[in-house]
Structure 1
Amino acid sequence: MARRIAYQGDPVITLEDVARQCQAEVEDLQRELVEQVIIPGVTAQAEARTGAAIRPAEYEEEWPESYGSGHALDVGQAGEVVSVKRVLGDGTTEDLADAYRLERGQRESFLHFPNGRPAGVLRIRYKAAYDPAAHPGVKLWLLMHAATAHEHRETMVNGTSLAELPSGFTDALLAEIEVPPRF
């Protein structure tokens, strides 16, 4: 399972976007609530539902030797490999100079080693984010959920967490980037 190292960019939606979706003025919204709870909350919900990166971030995952060349990365929408390292027996890592190629599909990204997969456990660090031009429905899903959360904030926001909205027709807006289950 990949772990997010850090977000590396601005959120996909802004306070201004949420205000426009709510048909309200920015001054009429609770800035801290929207920027610190609602926007991160709906982003996390979309990432959890899809298995894909929404907000630009850097991820790291370890591949056991059983993962061959062409295996899918855990997080969908990966677009750049930062590093590939071999994990040594003592837990330290060494950089690899082996050639690799990242193939980005609609839902998943696959890491290929043209000269054969290097031996050992690999630690792969990569950047991922969804492409708003290719998948505009994702931003619409975020905005619809953010506006609903803001409108019903008394029942949906509990401290610093956001209750999940019931699934419905809007989840189809995320279907294009949803990573298929792997078992």
Structure 2
Amino acid sequence: MARRIAYTGAAAITVAEVAAQCRVEAEDLQVDLVEQVIIPGVTAQAESKTGAAIRQAVYEEEWPEAYGSGRPLDVGQADQVLSIGRAESDGSITDLLPLPVHRLEIGQRESFLHFPQGRPPGRLVIRYRAGVDLAAYPGVRKWLLMHAATAHQFRETMVTGHVLHELAASYLDALLADVAVPPRF
């Protein structure tokens, strides 16, 4: 399972875009609430629903020796391998330099890491960058904005812990379908 190391890109949506979606002026919003709670919250919700990186970030995952060449990376929307290392028995990581010959096959939902000259031996630690191209998938931005506007509209009930009823989930979630990573078992 991959873990996020750090976000590297800007938030997927802005306060001004949320204000426009809510049909209010940006200064009429609680900017701190939108910027620090709502936008990160809907981004995390979309990432959880899809298994894809919505906001650009660096991820790291371990591949046991049984994982062969051509396996998909855990997080969808990966677009660049940053480093490949080997986990040693003492827990340290040895960077494989120069980087082993590899090819990242970028698909619509998943990215597959191939080693054309053979997979390096051992437990690999792979760092990569991932983040959805919102220009290519405008439905994802729309999903984020619709959920952010809903969260803003019902912010009092969310804070007090009442349940928010979902809005036509089948329609809204279809906006994320293009980037959702298929289940793996």
Give the TM-score normalised by structure 1: 0.95
Task: For 1:88-103, list aligned pairs within 5 A.
Answer: 88-96=88-96, 97=98, 98-103=100-105
2:87 aligns with 87
How far has the Cα of 1:46 moved from its partner?
A: 0.0
Q: Shift in Å at residue 163 of structure 1?
A: 6.4
- Report what 1:72 is aligned to: 72
> In structure 1, what residue type is equivalent to 2:6?
A
Deviation, 1:172, is 0.1
1:11: how far off?
A: 0.4
1:135 counterpart = 2:128: no
CA distance in 1, matches of 2:159, 2:117: 51
Secondary structure of 2:176's aligned partner: helix
Partner of 1:124: 126
Find the aligned partners of 1:156 and 1:171 in 2 and give their Cα distance. Answer: 20
**What is residue 147 of structure 1 aligned with on the other side?**
149
| Mapped partners of 2:166, 2:45: distance in 1 | 9
- 1:1-183 alignment, distance < 5 Å: 1-96=1-96, 97=98, 98-157=100-159, 165=166, 167-183=169-185
Q: Is the 8 A contact 1:157 1:163 kept in 2?
A: no
CA-CA distance at 1:155 after TM superposition:
1.3
Partner of 1:132: helix, strand, or coil? coil
Relative to structure 1, the CA distance from residue 174 to residue 134 in structure 2 (aligned partners, 3 Å threshold; closer, same or farther) is same
- Partners in 1 of 2:57 and 2:159 — Cα distance? 25
Q: 1:140 to 1:70 in 2, by over 3 A?
A: same
- Whether the 8 Å CA contact 1:6–1:57 is kept in 2: the answer is yes
Q: Which amino acid aligns with 2:127?
A: R
Deviation, structure 1 residue 158: 5.0
Structure 1 position 164, deviation (Å): 8.2
Secondary structure, in 3 states, of the residue corresponding to 2:84?
Answer: strand
CA distance in 1, matches of 2:146, 2:45: 13
CA distance, structure 2, for counterparts of residue 70 and residue 163 of structure 1: 41
Question: Equivalents in 1 of 2:164, 2:62: separation in Å?
Answer: 32
Residues 149 and 157, structure 1, Cα contact 8 Å, conserved in 2? no
Give the TM-score normalised by the residue count of structure 2. Answer: 0.94
Moved >2 Å (runs of 4+): 156-159, 162-168
In 1: Cα distance, 2:114 partner to 2:7 partner: 25
User: Closer, same or farther in 2 for the Cα pair 1:107/1:158, shift >3 Å?
Assistant: farther
Structure 1 unmatched runs, 5+: none
Percent identity, please: 66
Supply the RMSD in Å over aligned alpha carbons.
Answer: 1.6
